[in-house]
Amino acid sequence: MVNDARPQRVSYGPATFVAALVNILIVEVALWLTVPWIALAVFVVPLLVVDVVVAAILTSRSGTLAQVGRGMLIGLIAAPATLVVFLPGFFLAQALGLV
C-alpha cells in the first residue's frame, strides 16, 4: 500500500473553540471588573490559578477533554495579553492628563 490510511488524531476542534470562548468571557469579565481597583485583583488570582490547574489536568486526558483543556489554556492567554496591550496606553494617557 502506498498510503497508510490511519485516521489522524484531532488536537483542536469545536470543543477547543467553545472552551476558549467561554474561558475568555469569564476571565476577561472578572479581570476588567477589578482593573480599576488593583486591590480587588487579589480575588481574580485564585480564579486564574484554579483555571490553570483544571486546564492542565484536562489537557493530560484524551479526546474531547484534552481539546477542552487546550481551549482553556488558549483562553487564559487573553487576559495577560489584554493587560500587556492596554495598560501601557492607559498609563500614558493618565500621565498626559487625558484620563
- Using one digit for the tens of pLDDT, what is the confidence trace for 36-64? 777 666 777 788 888 899 999 999 998 88
Mean pLDDT of the chain: 84
Cβ contact 78:48 at 8 Å? no
Using the predicted structure, report yes or no on whether residue 3 has a pLDDT greater than 80: no
With cut-offs at 50, 70 and 90, classify the pLDDT of residue 1: low
State the residue for C-alpha cell 487625558.
Answer: 98
Name the residue ranges covered by the structural domains of the chain. 14-95
pTM for this one?
Answer: 0.69
Query: What's 62's DSSP letter?
Result: -
Cβ contact 40:48 at 8 Å? no
What distance in Å separates the CA atoms of residue 34 and residue 47, rounded to the nearest whole number? 12
